[in-house]
Structure 1
């Protein structure tokens, strides 16, 4: 692009600030020569150019040519707006974070509000519909929540496949909100799993499954169904053992794995799953399937599945 006359190159990425060595914004910055600004995502890192304390994420990084480039990210959940100013004569970059907080609540544009109002009424009506009741709270980042969704994916995977499924895997990033104890609304379920992810069942070789557990260990664990037990070393991230129904994974055997299509496509670094062959795929997205399941009064069956506590643990 620079050779073709571009004055500046701004890379918009979604691989994380520094969460995966070799695959991060910092790696791109340090190994590139012609990128001027990186605006990133995925790791939800708050990079505040005004924060000068030692140890906080830096926004100015030296590239392979010895130039200093800007690497920026605003966190998550819309709590910050990032502003970047570029001097078009000097190409100098300055940046800041603008908090989105209560001081902006009074600054609602009446014209915009009138456009949004009829849509908000319909959306709020749909979201507030009560579909069930949970006796427990499931915090977003808890092992219990992660394994609850894994158990559900296994149950539904067997239904769409029409055959027993050996195990299920769910990723941390696919869960975006908590579930409170008490009445469950459609909106809560959509907030928990807001993406257009389908449930898929794939047939995968045992060795590829073993390799994928190695990647999951490097991420400090992910969700697995209740019939799986995995143990890994927290210092080296090496997998010590993985059992399915009490038996070690056979590298030469094929397994039926239920997961979401996002992971089956190799995302979240789970490249080994791309080697699997799709056997079945749901017609609807995860949150819609879960809403229908709870609406049908089947939540008790899901809650009575094996203990939701740590199934993929360090030692």
Structure 2
């Protein structure tokens, strides 16, 4: 009996002594690896990606429309041709999608001046130009807002004093930048009416401090990127010639 107990104890000690201790993280070290032109390219990687790179470059350089003039976001004070173009295109492309899903129409579009990251050159417009103009992956969302929140939006626009792109909204300010007239689709804004505003998911999430999108009645994510909307529109038209107009102006005495 004592011998059996001794054998059992000996086997137990052998098993315990052979058991591996679990690894534990005790220290984390990091170093900065700078990516510069001095790093030699890997020829095997270069050869592997070259066909894909050439295909992408060919697509980016394909012509999709023609611009009558050169367009920049610095061309106007409260509205610009390029901003008007972008807002109008978002309405043109997004409203059929929204209407098909909900049976309702978009009432207005609001984008942001800072989101315009490049220009549209005079002459041929290439897909590459749209990636430069809108390099972000921002998607179009439609937010249901009451008229009271539209009033907050109007106050924001008047205080910002920037050419934030809008469509279907007409806004006039006095010489002190106070709102004196605001119309949506030719009608005065009613405080208890629900309006459907198309914007970007970035702005909906308080981008550019646009906090008037919350709270809201409802949110519709169209899963449609602004850049793709621009490209789709340009592919179906031959020529664009947007202009600065009276959708957002300051009236001076």
Q: Which has the higher helix share?
A: 2
Secondary structure of 1:268's counterpart equals helix
Q: Give the structure 2 partner of residue 312 of structure 1.
A: 248
- Higher mean C-alpha displacement, 147-156 vs 276-285: 276-285
How far is 1:141 from its partner?
2.9
Q: Give the structure 2 partner of residue 275 of structure 1.
A: 215
Q: Which has the higher strand share?
A: 1
The question of whether the paired residues in 2 share the 8 Å contact of 1:157 and 1:200 is answered with no
How far is 1:124 from its partner?
2.8
Deviations 1:58-92 (A, max 9, x none): xxxxxxxxxxxxxxxxxxxxxxxxxxxxxxxxxxx
Q: Give the structure 2 partner of residue 298 of structure 1.
A: 237
Q: Give the structure 2 partner of residue 145 of structure 1.
A: 82
The question of whether the paired residues in 1 share the 8 Å contact of 2:83 and 2:113 is answered with yes
The question of whether the paired residues in 1 share the 8 Å contact of 2:69 and 2:241 is answered with no
How far is 1:215 from its partner?
1.0
The question of whether the paired residues in 2 share the 8 Å contact of 1:223 and 1:312 is answered with no
Aligned mate of 1:228, from 169, 178, 181: 169
Q: Distance in 1 between matches of 2:116 and 2:238?
A: 18
CA gap of 1:110–1:281, structure 2 versus 1, over 3 A, is same
The alignment covers a number of residue pairs equal to 203
Gaps of 5+ in 2: 1-35
Gaps of 5+ in 1: 1-106
**How big is the alpha-carbon RMSD for the aligned residues of Structure 1 and Structure 2?**
2.6
The question of whether the paired residues in 2 share the 8 Å contact of 1:202 and 1:279 is answered with yes
The question of whether the paired residues in 1 share the 8 Å contact of 2:89 and 2:233 is answered with no
Deviations 1:7-57 (A, max 9, x none): xxxxxxxxxxxxxxxxxxxxxxxxxxxxxxxxxxxxxxxxxxxxxxxxxxx
Q: Distance in 2 between matches of 1:299 and 1:185?
A: 12
Secondary structure of 1:173's counterpart equals helix
The question of whether the paired residues in 1 share the 8 Å contact of 2:106 and 2:198 is answered with yes
Q: Give the structure 2 partner of residue 176 of structure 1.
A: 117
Q: Distance in 2 between matches of 1:267 and 1:234?
A: 28
Larger relative contact order (C-alpha < 8 A, sep ≥ 6)? 2
The question of whether the paired residues in 2 share the 8 Å contact of 1:160 and 1:280 is answered with no
- TM-score calculated relative to the size of structure 1: 0.58
Deviations 1:75-123 (A, max 9, x none): xxxxxxxxxxxxxxxxxxxxxxxxxxxxxxxx94361486678375454
Aligned mate of 1:134, from 36, 47, 67: 67
Q: Give the structure 1 partner of residue 130 of structure 2.
A: 189
The question of whether the paired residues in 2 share the 8 Å contact of 1:229 and 1:312 is answered with yes
Q: How does 1:27-106 map to 2 (within 5 A)?
A: none
- TM-score calculated relative to the size of structure 2: 0.70
Q: Give the structure 1 partner of residue 93 of structure 2.
A: 156
Structure of larger gyration radius: 2
The question of whether the paired residues in 1 share the 8 Å contact of 2:152 and 2:212 is answered with yes
- Higher mean C-alpha displacement, 168-177 vs 238-247: 238-247
Q: Distance in 2 between matches of 1:282 and 1:172?
A: 22
The alignment status of 1:262 with 2:202, answered yes or no, reads yes
Aligned mate of 1:198, from 124, 127, 139: 139
Secondary structure of 1:284's counterpart equals strand
Q: Give the structure 2 partner of residue 102 of structure 1.
A: none
